[in-house]
Amino acid sequence: MGSKALQKFLNDNLNDLKSKGLYNEINVLESGNGPIIKVKGKELINLSSNNYLGLANNAKMIEESIKATNKYGVGAGAVRTINGTLKIHEELEKRLAEFKHTEASIAFQSGFNCNAGAIQAVMNKKDAILSDELNHASIIDGCKLSGAKIIRYKHNDMQDLKVKAKEARESGLYEKLMVISDGVFSMDGDVVNLPGLVEAAEEFDLISYIDDAHGSGVMGKGVGTVKHFGLSHKVDFQMGTLSKAMGVVGGYVAGTQDLIDWLKVRARPFLFSTSLTPASCGAIIEALNIMTNSTHLVDKVWENGNYLKKGLKELGFNIGHSETPITPCIIGEEKLAQQFSKRLMEEGVYAKAIVFPTVPMGTGRVRNMPTAAHTKEMLDKALAIYEKVGKELGVIK
């Protein structure tokens, strides 16, 4: 029967989550993750993906992934450092570096893996990392793996960052200091104060690391948040994912040749986990072609984001302070947020509730992720459903 202690632990905790409305039921998609998805046989307007540019279902990318599979096979066969580096990995990294205007880049199997490997490759227990209090879980775990002292600063508060950086420097306790932040914060859609962060980095010699998972493909005409601020030459680690706007899977760091050379000998997921599939590489290279040839899709995701925000705001919803297409609809209480999401789904909109511990307690929300693939008709229909459910549940008048 296995361990009794484990059974008790699981029972107690699962029941606790369920009674508090914090247990997440996973919905299974019977279609691709496009603007319309099929769940339990029903078609729904999809406002929950990270497929910002609609590239996850792009026909040309599918074609290129098949070509790469035909040429190289379904798997890379080894970790990068043994003999799992195929010509297509090399090409991908060259293209990512060009895209980011850096000397070099390194690709990982996921964004999470990238943070788990890249931070600990340079930081260790003699060092300290200044980390925004709302940073993504993979950053937090990456920092923990490094063994460095983690010093949290107030969300996007550059004054607090400076105070803490000064304290850390003057304490004489640490060798290297790093500052790490999301470029775009995914739960609220706000953007890092990068000029402020870079100023602090220069003043206190901080290694700067920007995780631009939600900024790449969206900010800076698609190139990312660092480009948006014109600070490409001032940020040491430009980290991004290949799984969100790029529509595939994977993560990367773009930076100087020396930095990338070092990560390729020290980042543990690069050394000890099999490399990206040829199909993924082929599809991502095509995504880069699409994004460099035209800003059409980037323009479209912004247009749709602004349209949805305006509509929700006019209906009287609290949409927070997003500066990007990410549009939270803050409901408050966890159970109400989940009930709201459930009713939206019954009426034809898939917008997942996000509750504690992903966001602070009492700020339960339904988060909307409009993409370039949505039409005005879809967004209008979604807004009509929002109005109906909002009034029904007393969220709006």
Ligand X SMILES: *Cc1c(COP(=O)(O)O)cnc(C)c1O
Q: Does 215 bind ligand X (CB under 6 A)?
A: no
What type of residue is 182?
Answer: D
Query: Which residue out of 48, 65, 138, 186 is catalytically annotated?
Result: 186
Q: Does 211 bind ligand X (CB under 6 A)?
A: yes
Residue located via tokens 């789904």: 345
Return the number of the residue (162 or 227) whose C-beta is nearest ligand X.
Answer: 227
The window from 32-40, 52-60, 87-95, 208-216 that contacts ligand X (CB under 6 A) reads 208-216
- In the residue annotation, 19 being an active-site residue is answered as no
Q: Does 186 bind ligand X (CB under 6 A)?
A: yes
The window from 161-169, 209-217, 293-301, 330-338 that contacts ligand X (CB under 6 A) reads 209-217
Cβ 240 to ligand X, closest distance in Å?
Answer: 9
- In the residue annotation, 244 being an active-site residue is answered as yes
What type of residue is 285?
Answer: I
Q: Does 383 bind ligand X (CB under 6 A)?
A: no
Rg over alpha carbons for the chain, rounded to the nearest Å, is 22
The window from 1-9, 78-86, 211-219, 267-275 that contacts ligand X (CB under 6 A) reads 211-219
Exposure class string for 330-358: b at 16+ Cβ within 10 A, else e: bbeebebbbbbbebbbebebbbbbbbeeb
Residue 148: which residues within 8 A CB-CB, separation 6 or more? Answer: 123, 124, 125, 126, 127, 128, 129, 174, 178
Is 269 in contact with 108 (CB distance < 8 Å)?
yes
Query: Which residue out of 162, 228, 244, 352 is catalytically annotated?
Result: 244
Taking the C-alpha atoms of residue 16 and residue 307, their distance in angstroms, rounded to an integer, is: 39
Q: Does 182 bind ligand X (CB under 6 A)?
A: yes
Return the number of the residue (138 or 322) whose C-beta is nearest ligand X.
Answer: 138
Taking the C-alpha atoms of residue 46 and residue 54, their distance in angstroms, rounded to an integer, is: 11
Judged by CB under 6 A, how many residues of this single chain contact ligand X?
Answer: 14
- First-to-last C-alpha distance (Å) of the chain: 54
Of residues 91 through 130, those in contact with ligand X by CB under 6 A are: 110-112, 115
Of residues 224 through 283, those in contact with ligand X by CB under 6 A are: 241, 243, 251
Q: Label the pairing between strands 364-368 and 251-255.
A: unpaired
- In the residue annotation, 186 being an active-site residue is answered as yes
User: Looking at the annotation, which residues are catalytic?
Assistant: 186, 214, 244
Residues that bind ligand X (CB under 6 A): 110-112, 115, 136, 138, 182, 186, 211, 213-214, 241, 243, 251
